[in-house]
Amino acid sequence: MPQERKFEPPPETHGKTAAHIGKSVLIRGELSGSEDLYIDGQVEGTIELREHNLTVGPNGRVQANINAKEVIVQGSLKGNVRAVDRVEIRKSGTLVGDLVAARVVIEDGAYFKGSIDIQKAGEAAAKPGEVRKADAAPVPEAASKLAAAPVEAKRM
């Protein structure tokens, strides 16, 4: 049985408390809204909050593709994330999926598996799956050979 994590109250944004999905709630399907959202339960599907923030609380379990202004992960998130502003994975958080955002913060102790695409603020607001001309441009042959070469990272 998974260990229950300490409850952290929903964040306040601009003087208003975010909508809250409690830890006993399971939602399957498409979730969209025009206010900030705090998830401490389970959500499976898609989440659209383009102009608002999403926080996955310490007990939150999300399996969804997400499009939001800002995403903070304290629990578990599996899926692709597109954020207009930033994605932050806290030390208690786990994120498996690809990120597109203007800024990405990964705290020491957090778990992340996927790719990161840093884009200027506003560029990340495009619809998920949308291909821009710059993304579709062919890669020169010399560059593709370099990209295929293994790279070894050194710790300092």
d(CA 125, CA 86): 11
Q: Is the pTM of this model over 0.75?
A: no
Buried b (16+ CB within 10 A) or exposed e, 24-35: eeebeeebebee
What mean pLDDT comes out for the span 69-87? 97
Report how far residue 63's alpha carbon sits from residue 75's, in angstroms, rounded to the nearest whole number: 11
Residue scoring higher pLDDT (93 or 17): 93
Residue 147: pLDDT over 70:
no
Q: Higher pLDDT residue, 116 or 127? A: 116
| Rounded average pLDDT over 27-52 | 96
pLDDT of res. 44: 98
More confident residue, 13 or 79: 79
Span 101-122, pLDDT tens digits: 999 999 999 999 999 999 987 6
pLDDT for residue 86 is more than 50: yes
